[in-house]
Structure 1
Amino acid sequence: MLFSKRILVILDSGEHSPKALHRAQLIAERMGCELELLWVGKSEPWTGLAQDLAVLQSSAVRFTQEVITKDLIDLVVERWQQDHFALLVKGCDLRHNNRRLLAPRDWQLLRETPCPVLLVKQDQHWADGRILAAVNTVTHDPQLRAHNQSILMLAGFIAHALNAPLHAAVATPMAMQGVEPELQSQVLIDQRAQRCAENVLSEMNLRVAQLHVGEGPPEHWIPHVSTEIDASLVVMGTLARKGVSAALLGNTAERILDRLNTDILVLRAGIDQPLPPLMT
């Protein structure tokens, strides 16, 4: 079962850290997990921290605390090697758009963490909104196809557990001249993407309340759909590019962080484990 072991919670002085702690507690209570709280940075914690910890202490959730004195990314990888935690939770940083030589901490976590990463922005309960899976079902690459199926299955698992509506969003490429006829018409491109998505969902026996297919790029289409349907959580994947390729090509999940007003659950390509069929 997903979320069946330990959850790692990264806490700092960021605006969304209290929300991350609250979200992690909700997940731990529902899934029967333990929390490991890792404190980062030297800044003062948020006002109300003592009350938040008192609430956590009075709950049935078991937790430990530790102040980090080493590099966060190295510590996360080290923790993974010691005990394959099921999820990493952190308040989403607000500074991703600042130009800098090194990638922001959130980006580094998405690239390096070998488990799903939940970046928290909101306090609302996920069951009060809609769960949105952002996927590319047109790909012919077997590994990417399996990765997109894992994204859909993870989103479906969450929606099923919360009895919340599940939606899926597919961003299509822009029509181009001089290529095969099917790629010269936006209508044909969208129809092809619709068919591919419906086939994948049918193969998985997974139903969605609505399938949203529209012209990309993903960093514009996915936030548009998320706002339109009032999503409470967006589940998406990342190729976790690093080094020069990350600087030149980037990662969609990273570019989209600041465009979304929801919590974002990111699954890295290449580390997702096969999930059992989810019957809905």
Structure 2
Amino acid sequence: MLMKQILVIADLPGSKPKALAKAKLIADAQNAKVTVLSFVYEQLKHLPDNLSASQQKAIQQSLVEQRQQWLERQIKDQDLNPEQVTCQVIWEKNIASWTEEFSRKHKHDLIVKTGRRSEGMFYTPTDWHLLRTSQVPVLLVSEKKWKKQHNVMVALDLGSKLQSKQALNQQLLSTGIDWVRHFGGELHCVYCLPMSPVLKDLMGLSGKQMASDAKAQYMPLIQKMAGDFPLSPENVHIKAGDPDKVIPSVAADINAGLVTIGTVGRKGLKGKLLGNTAENILSLLKTDIIALQP
């Protein structure tokens, strides 16, 4: 996965610049150009209603200029190469939609954002929107400190015969391999075998035996996708069970610092009310995450 054009959504003032720090790590490794965006909007919601349009415009401009100065200091503090970095402050409420359009127009290879947790375990609406709809890969940086040598885990969907899913598996695995080659750590793969509890009881199926049989079946395919990368069979984890339980559990067991996973965005009312399997998994992972769509 070549990442020559990286788009960063800067963390808010008062927060550690985790997204910017991760973007620098990637840019240094791949000699990539970085565009840093910072969004301003909500600060005007408490202003008096009787302000003139020109007064509101002046306040807006002042806030943008202050944020621009702050953003330039952040970039300087991170020691990013000035020749590789551009930055811009945007007056916009809908961060996700604006970012998607901008990234498509400028053909970015990766969007980097800190994955902000809202109430409980779940990410903010901006994060979910990007994961559901962005055609550009999204790297959500964990708010916890990221260590360079943490392992990489690739979540595969090996049971599907759809060409789009098979292509996505290849893209996910290639991304994981590239990450390990650039930043170190071990590469692991995980696949969850769907198994109905009813059929399991009715037919006396053994989850462990099913997983063992499936590993023998899929291991040649995984090694073919890995190409010349020496993927150890011990690092391929095939388990029977629900993905939203198995994947976070395996990620914790192998000390994963990054998980690459495919997402399928839902549109319309259903997408707003129901999270897909990937979203259930993401809400439980405490790692960096690269999400890709078919």
1:31 match: 30
Q: TM-score with structure 2 length normalisation?
A: 0.77
Q: TM-score with structure 1 length normalisation?
A: 0.81
Aligned length in residues: 262
Tell me if the contact between 1:137 and 1:193 (Cα under 8 Å) persists in the aligned partners.
no
Return the match for 1:69 from 84, 88, 91.
91
Whole-angstrom distance in 2 between the partners of 1:158 and 1:58: 20
Return the match for 1:190 from 208, 211, 235.
211
- For 1:67, give the aligned amino acid: V
1:174 paired with 2:173, answer no
Q: Aligned pair in 2 of structure 1 residues 268, 74: CA closer, same or farther (>3 Å)?
A: same
Residue 152 of structure 1 deviates from its aligned partner by: 0.9
Moved more, 205-214 or 144-153: 205-214
Residue 176 of structure 1 deviates from its aligned partner by: 4.0
Return the match for 1:200 from 221, 238, 251.
221
Tell me if the contact between 2:154 and 2:188 (Cα under 8 Å) persists in the aligned partners.
yes
Residue 87 of structure 1 deviates from its aligned partner by: 0.3
Whole-angstrom distance in 1 between the partners of 2:177 and 2:84: 27
Tell me if the contact between 2:208 and 2:240 (Cα under 8 Å) persists in the aligned partners.
no
Give ranges in structure 1 of 5+ residues lacking alignment. 270-280
Whole-angstrom distance in 2 between the partners of 1:89 and 1:175: 37
1:3 paired with 2:14, answer no
2:49 match: none
Q: Deviations over 1:118-137 (max 9, x none)?
A: 000144343x1111111121
Residue 9 of structure 1 deviates from its aligned partner by: 0.6
1:150 match: 171
Whole-angstrom distance in 2 between the partners of 1:61 and 1:232: 30
Greater share of helix residues, 1 or 2?
A: 2
Residue 230 of structure 1 deviates from its aligned partner by: 0.9
Moved more, 88-97 or 69-78: 69-78
Q: Deviations over 1:184-224 (max 9, x none)?
A: 44234313431343122222224434111223321211111
Q: Deviations over 1:132-155 (max 9, x none)?
A: 111121222221122112111111
2:244 match: 219
Give ranges in structure 2 of 5+ residues lacking alignment. 44-65
1:87 paired with 2:115, answer no
Tell me if the contact between 1:36 and 1:63 (Cα under 8 Å) persists in the aligned partners.
yes
Bigger radius of gyration, 1 or 2? Answer: 2
Give the SS at the match of 1:68: strand
1:161 match: 182
Tell me if the contact between 2:122 and 2:283 (Cα under 8 Å) persists in the aligned partners.
no
Tell me if the contact between 2:112 and 2:138 (Cα under 8 Å) persists in the aligned partners.
yes
Give the SS at the match of 2:91: coil
- For 2:241, give the aligned amino acid: G
Residue 177 of structure 1 deviates from its aligned partner by: 3.8
Q: Aligned pair in 2 of structure 1 residues 136, 87: CA closer, same or farther (>3 Å)?
A: same
